[in-house]
Structure 1
Amino acid sequence: MTYKGKFRVWRGDGEGGELQDYEVDVNEGEVVLDVIHRLQATQTPDLAVRWNCKAGKCGSCSAEINGKPKLMCMCRMNTFEEGETVTVTPMRTFPVIRDLVTDVSFNYTKAREIPSFTPPADLKPGEYRMQQVDVERSQEFRKCIECFLCQDTCHVIRDHEENKESFSGPRFLMRIAELDMHPLDAADRQHEAQDQHGLGFCNITKCCTEVCPEHIKITDNALIPMKERVADRKYDPIVWLGNKIRRRPS
């Protein structure tokens, strides 16, 4: 079955732009990215859109569809009514390069600020040992495809550009939590999360979890546990005293 779909697509660049209306064929079983490609092929060959795998695994085709951050290749057209106008806009949190393509370099800058896995200095490579239960704790976070939809929907940086310098966003706080859960990681991830990456800015609204295409429970399984460990270390008097004793010179 084919019908004429109504699309409203943002066109422009960093200097400005506007929403433009189009009518384009929609076939049964298609996703939004299929229709955007047809729009390129038939009406707007200069429409800029970023995509790669079309299978929900590369994270390239992130956009906002009817105001909600989604992957265009995973948003099926049968979720809309035939007469409904589908509005496609670039991710609002990041600067627009052109049309639906945004500059997501902020995320790569934040990624570089996180020290990599740091084993104890006296541990040799052949001595790395982990229990399966420890592997499973952080395995969920490895599913991240870095679509940056969680970063886009997080209101701490979406609505407050000034926070970007001191807040890394849910994707990278999740990375820090993953490393903190690793039994062989010796870096001070809790201090790093709070003082360098702005964990305290997060107010656990779970909006990042809601838009994750890999269904990672970012808030429940990474951010909240990280907040709890930071709070224990900073405010629990018994933990505070224990840390003081362990640091006491021999």
Structure 2
Amino acid sequence: MSTYDARFKVWRGDGDGGGLEDFTVEVHDGEVVLDIIHRLQATQAPDLAVRWNCKAGKCGSCSAEINGRPRLMCMTRMSVFDPADTVTVTPMRAFPVVRDLVTDVSFNYTKAREVPSFVPPQGVAAGEYRMQQIDVDRSQEFRKCIECFLCQDTCHVVRDHEENKPAFAGPRFLMRVAELDMHPLDAAAESGLDRRRTAQDEHGLGYCNITKCCTEVCPEGIHITDNALIPLKERAADRKYDPLVWLGSRIRRRGEHTA
């Protein structure tokens, strides 16, 4: 097994401030960045704070920024770097720092609670739900999300504009709205909930300018922009601006008033 000494810069600090600290640490074949962070904890920085769990790319816990790119530390192999490179590891920039590489991601749980859940169809028991396989496949892609929040971190609407956070759910939760809106069994409309209107008016869909940066950092390869955000934007625009849709809604409302 070959080894070499790598140069690392790791952010140390808390919510009041901090900075990059230099380390030289041994690297072995086949290791990932999280292995190196663990070695730093074991040999040089026992108080280094880092969040992790599965080390298999499925829990989403070890999100950070490596050389400025949002990544999972457990899925970033050291072999992608030249041994002469300095590897910089910093916390996710879009969220407040708790300590070192650990950030407060509670913003995301707040946004998750703001998305109305699936509305079951009336008169159909849970065991009687039936869907076409194409509809299952369409929404199943979005269910692969591991809640790493890298898409939230890289989205410039959240990352660069703190003032947008109250009005913008971010790509992860707009994807959730899109999934529910395209679900053939979701009875939100029958219950009076217009998911396309709420996407625009309450979750900030209009802030998204489809740069695809969220898709680029997704460790599960979910096509967030192409398969969720763009179709949701198209449906929201149809609802708001299509004259035939507008006329149909006027006719329905008039019929309700005269019934």
Q: 1:135 is aligned with what amino acid? A: V
CA distance in 2, matches of 1:164, 1:73: 28
2:241 partner letter: Y
Is residue 2:63 matched to residue 1:62? yes
Q: How many residues align?
A: 250
Equivalent position of 1:212 in the other structure: 218
What is the deviation of 1:126? 4.5
Cα separation, 1, equivalents of 2:251 and 2:206: 27
Q: How does 1:120-159 map to 2 (within 5 A)?
A: 120-159=121-160
Q: Which amino acid aligns with 1:93?
A: A
TM (norm. structure 2) is 0.95
Q: Deviations over 1:175-220 (max 9, x none)?
A: 0000011111122211111111000000000000000000000000
For residues 157-236 of structure 1, the aligned pairs below 5 Å read 157-187=158-188, 188-236=194-242
2:104 paired residue number: 103
Name the structure 2 match of 1:42.
Answer: 43
CA RMSD of aligned residues (A): 0.9
TM-score (norm 1): 0.98
- Residue 122 of structure 1, CA deviation: 3.9
Q: Which moved more, 1:133-142 or 1:202-211?
A: 133-142
Letter in 1 for 2:246: W
Q: How far does the alpha carbon of each residue in 1:124-176 deviate from its partner, in whole angstroms, 9 at most, with x for none?
A: 43442211111111110000000000000000010000000000000000000
Corresponding residue SS for 1:222: helix
CA distance in 1, matches of 2:141, 2:251: 35
Q: Classify the secondary structure of the residue corresponding to 1:5.
A: strand
Between the aligned partners of 2:12 and 2:236, the Cα distance in structure 1 is 44
Write the distance in 2 (CA, Å) between the matches of 1:76 and 1:189. 40
- The corresponding residue for 1:244 is 250
Q: Using the alignment, how far apart are the partners of 2:86 and 2:99 within structure 1?
A: 22
Please tell me the residue identity of whatever aligns with 1:213: P
**Residues 214-249 of structure 1 deviation map (CA, whole Å, 9 limit, x = unaligned):** 000000000000000000010000111112223331
Identical columns (%)? 78
Shift of 1:93: 0.2
Q: Distance in 2 between matches of 1:120 and 1:193?
A: 21
AA aligned opposite 2:134: V
Distance in 2 between the 1:74 and 1:123 partners? 42
Amino acid at match of 1:185: D
- Residue type matched to 1:111 in 2? A
Give 5+ residue unaligned stretches, structure 2. 189-193
| 1:80-114 Cα deviation digits (max 9, x unpaired) | 01111000000000000000000000000000111
The aligned counterpart of 2:191 is none
For 1:220 and 1:208, the matched residues in 2 are separated by: 11
CA distance in 1, matches of 2:221, 2:125: 36
CA distance in 2 between partners of 1:82 and 1:127 (Å): 57
How many Å separate the matches in 1 of 2:25 and 2:127? 59
**Quick one: distance in 2 between partners of 1:91 and 1:246?**
48
- Structure 1 moving runs of 4+ over 4 Å: none
2:85 and 2:132 map into 1 onto residues whose CA distance is 52
